[in-house]
Amino acid sequence: MVEWLEYVIKPSNYISSLCYSVFRLEPFTTCSYGCTYCYAQWYRGPHGAPGEKPWVPRGFERIARRLPRGLPKPWFRLSTLSDPFQPVRGGVSALVKKILRIALRYEVPLVINTKGLVTRDEEALWLLVGLADKGLLVLQYTIGFGDGTASLLEPMAPRPSERLSEAEMLARLGIPVIVRVQPLIPGLEQEHYRVAIQALRSGARGLIGEPLRETRAGLARLYKLLANSGEPPGCWEPYQLGEEPGKEPLLHPCPWWRTRVNHALEALATQHGAAYATCKDSLLTLHKWYRPGKTCCLEWLGFREEPLLRPTLHEYSYLEWPSLSPEQLCKELGPPFICDHRLDQYPAIIRKGVRAHLAKLERLLRSENRVRKLLEKLST
């Protein structure tokens, strides 16, 4: 059997505490877009020529076939460390289209995150329309800045203006489009706001903001490309709760800057009747629309049925920090939160994924110092 971590994001302080989307489909080994700020480089090293992973759809179909009826289904993110719509032989990869067909056949919900263009591939386009028609799809476009800046920071990716045009076209076809305004970078605030306005006017149902996370050396390279000499502008602080041995630590913008930008983006979304969420940057209790079951991926703007969930720090905060273990809290919340004996009805990979992240969350909750540090970083 394929290693379960092929389909599950590795447990960590941030992911296990804050993220509902822990299942993934990674059809490629790397990404051809070569974005200078790519967070995945911190995990896998420099960009290279992407290779396809033909075992991923096979494993996905085994999981999909075994999902229990009558219980919430897990949703999968396509993908997290590479772009699913990076061009392969002039169109969308046959491997990716196979994944889309499997999701449609077994009615497994997908959140797709991309900078790519899909309308040039007719089959892929109509697979997306089919998934959307069944309430199984949210399409997240990453668009952080205008064409000029993107030509420096995302030289191999389609231009933001092309992505915005495609997002508008897909929204008109009934596909739920969310725009991820990321990475949020000090010095580029006005570009972030312009992109957000254009996205909302193009039919985006929501926005997600996520600040840049980069090493000190990476920041120097990035700002050199932006023709900024010397120290990176603004205030930067450590992102991680602890350093990774052998790796240069990651930094992210200071709380006051993140708060200001997040509030501005949320105000723009509200003006257009859309939702706004932060990604791994604040607790959902700061958002007026939040209740247990509404997540920061904004998949509820497109999914017809509530997907399988597990409790996170968002629920602990919303319920004013009950003295319950994650398992107990899960039972109190009820469906679609499933962590108890009902989890035994799911395929092994789903069980292992949920329980691994629950165990990591429980260990974090037992460490008062680590929880305090994390909450200080989420005070925006």
Pairing of strands 206-211, 236-238: unpaired
Residue type, 213: R
Q: Is the dihedral of CA 96, 102, 103, 105 positive or negative?
A: positive
- C-alpha gyration radius of the chain: 20
* pLDDT digit string, tens, across residues 253-296: 999 999 999 999 999 999 999 999 999 999 999 888 999 999 99
Contact between 223 and 209 under an 8 Å Cβ cutoff? The reply is no
The rounded distance, in Å, linking the Cα atoms of 108 and 137 is 9
pLDDT at site 284: 94
* pLDDT digit string, tens, across residues 151-194: 999 999 999 999 999 999 999 999 999 999 999 999 999 999 99
Contact between 379 and 30 under an 8 Å Cβ cutoff? The reply is no
The rounded distance, in Å, linking the Cα atoms of 367 and 344 is 29
CA triplet 191, 80, 71: central angle to 5 degrees?
120
Residue ranges covered by each domain of the chain: 4-377
CATH of 4-377, one of 3.30.70.60, 3.80.30.30, 3.40.50.300, 1.20.120.80: 3.80.30.30
Indicate yes or no: pTM above 0.85.
yes
Paired strand residues for 112: 78, 139
End-to-end CA distance of the chain: 42
User: What 3-state class would DSSP assign to 81?
Assistant: coil
Helices 255-271 and 189-201: crossing angle, nearest 10°?
A: 20
Contact between 241 and 12 under an 8 Å Cβ cutoff? The reply is no
Task: Enter the DSSP assignment of 52.
Answer: B
* pLDDT digit string, tens, across residues 52-96: 999 999 999 999 999 999 999 999 999 888 999 998 877 899 999
CA nearest 149: which of 254, 71, 199, 223?
223
Contact between 22 and 9 under an 8 Å Cβ cutoff? The reply is yes
Contact between 160 and 146 under an 8 Å Cβ cutoff? The reply is yes
The rounded distance, in Å, linking the Cα atoms of 111 and 11 is 19
